[in-house]
Amino acid sequence: MPFVLEIYELARQIASYLSTADALALAKTCRSTSNPALDELWMDLASFKPLLALLPPAFLNLQGEALSVSIVCT
């Protein structure tokens, strides 16, 4: 891997120009690019849903159920 990508600030700057899909691919590439890419991906959220998806699987099922019920209710 190029040495330049081991510099956090540079990797972060590069990630800031990428689409969500590309930043995700960068996050999966290697350890040193993972953090800057994830920081960029999580910096601005347009919804709470990504945060809710971090909850335990059992809770996720419940949450899915709760959400589907709420859609019926609104």
Residues engaged in binding another protein (CB under 8 A): 38-39, 42-48, 50-52, 54-56, 58-59, 62-63, 65-67, 69-71, 73-74
Q: How far apart are CA 10 and CA 1, in angstroms?
A: 14
Q: How far apart are CA 23 and CA 16, in angstroms?
A: 8
- Of 8 and 42, which CB lies nearer to another protein in the complex structure? 42
- Of 25 and 42, which CB lies nearer to another protein in the complex structure? 42
Least distance to another protein from the beta carbon of 60, Å? Answer: 10
Direct distance between the N- and C-terminal alpha carbons of the chain, in angstroms, rounded to an integer? 51
